């Protein structure tokens, strides 16, 4: 499949309003996709975190900052049959096993000497059928991938080659809900996504996801290339902590109450990644201008410290 038929995407969870950090990442995902001739897609990852009205608000805010996408937004809650079919395919290849561990079981096992930090210790990997039958009476099972590697390497536009741990991670939780690491990989594959732009806090999950993509590709898209990632620096508050909604005026609505227009916010977002921003011009005009000079190699490598009190109205920039 040619690059122009591949895609980048932004995939928020509808758990509330998008804050300035979310909007910045969405803007960068759009710039990466458009600058490389890819389609840009919006996906609503609503499997287990959804608040009434959030999806509509998020879409409206993304449109307000000038973003456009090429297909109707996809919702994960509409795709249960696809997730079940993919797990069935992996089960047929012997790549899935039942796990009855609680979070406490795993925490205690991974705190033991010589345990790999954060990795599943393999407790249920080789249970006998008799043992599984007994454990099913105690609690429902989650389904885990029977990984055949312990490490996988991905290519990242910011970090270069990055190798990380791959363990037997969860595909289906014991409440029947597909796990994030599984659902997002299958959706990317089925949508032709080969470029993922997101916050650097998710870098450690990339090896697991890319490994799973390599297992699923023969089932769905033999020509699917490996994912190319861009894990971009985070937005922090003035205390140097990850920005959150509790940090004050961090959404478009909040900033509007302080007197900042959406165009001014877009200008600030663009300037934060080293691109020209002019709050006197519409968001779409600003994005078009930024796209013409966008070069991922020039992105700042340090986090952006966001302070709403330091924002400037047009004509007041120092």
Cite the annotated binding site for L-glutamate by residue number.
9-13, 45, 180, 198
Distances from the Cα of 130 to the Cαs of 17, 136, 137, 149, in angstroms? 48, 10, 12, 27
Stated as kind and residue range, the H or E segment containing 160 is strand 160-165
Task: Identify the three-state secondary structure at position 198.
Answer: strand
**What single string gives the DSSP state of each residue in 249-285?**
S-SHHHHHHTT--HHHHHHHHHHHTT----TTS-HHH
- Binding residue positions for Zn(2+): 99, 101, 120, 124
Q: Of 220, 275, 242, nearest to 32 (Cα)?
A: 275
Q: 16 near 245, Cβ under 8 Å?
A: yes
Residues annotated within the binding site are: 9-13, 45, 99, 101, 120, 124, 180, 198, 245
* CB 9, CB 41: distance < 8 Å: yes
Say if strands 304-305 and 7-10 run parallel, antiparallel, or are unpaired.
unpaired
| Closest among 97, 203, 101, 193 to 159, alpha carbons compared | 203
Q: Starting at the earlier edge strand, list the strands of the sheet with 170-172.
A: 96-99, 142-145, 170-172
Residue 9 pairs in a beta bridge with 41, 196
Instruction: Could you list the residues known to form a binding site for ATP, using ranges.
Output: 245
Phi then psi for residue 277, to 5 deg, are -135, 135
């Amino acid at each position: 499949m040619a690059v122009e038929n591949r895609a980048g995407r932004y995939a928020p969870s509808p758990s509330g309003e998008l804050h300035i950090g979310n909007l910045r990442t969405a803007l960068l995902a759009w710039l990466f996709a458009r600058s490389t001739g890819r389609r840009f897609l919006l996906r609503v990852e609503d499997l287990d975190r959804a608040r009434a009205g959030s999806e509509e608000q998020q879409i409206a805010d993304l449109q307000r900052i000038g973003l456009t996408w090429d297909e109707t937004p996809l919702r994960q809650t509409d795709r249960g049959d696809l997730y079940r079919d993919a797990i069935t395919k992996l089960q047929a290849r012997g790549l899935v096993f039942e796990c009855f561990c609680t979070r406490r079981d795993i925490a205690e096992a991974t705190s033991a000497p010589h345990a790999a930090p954060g990795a599943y210790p393999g407790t249920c990997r080789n249970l006998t059928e008799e043992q599984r039958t007994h454990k099913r009476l105690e609690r429902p099972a989650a389904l885990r991938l029977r990984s055949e590697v312990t490490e996988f390497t991905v290519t990242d536009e910011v970090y270069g080659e990055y190798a990380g741990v791959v363990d037997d991670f969860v595909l289906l939780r014991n409440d029947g809900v597909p796990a994030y690491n599984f659902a997002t990989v299958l959706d990317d594959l089925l949508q032709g996504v080969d470029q993922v732009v997101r916050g650097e806090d998710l870098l450690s999950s990339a090896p697991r996801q890319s490994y799973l993509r390599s297992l699923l590709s023969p089932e769905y898209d033999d020509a699917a290339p490996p994912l190319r990632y861009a894990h971009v620096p985070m937005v922090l508050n003035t205390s140097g902590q990850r920005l959150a909604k509790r940090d004050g005026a961090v959404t478009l609505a909040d900033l509007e109450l302080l007197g900042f227009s959406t165009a001014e916010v877009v200008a600030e977002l663009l300037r934060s990644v080293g691109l020209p921003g002019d709050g006197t011009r519409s968001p779409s005009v600003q994005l078009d201008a930024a796209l013409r000079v966008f070069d991922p190699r020039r992105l700042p490598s340090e986090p952006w410290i966001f302070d709403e009190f330091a924002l400037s109205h047009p004509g007041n920039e120092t």
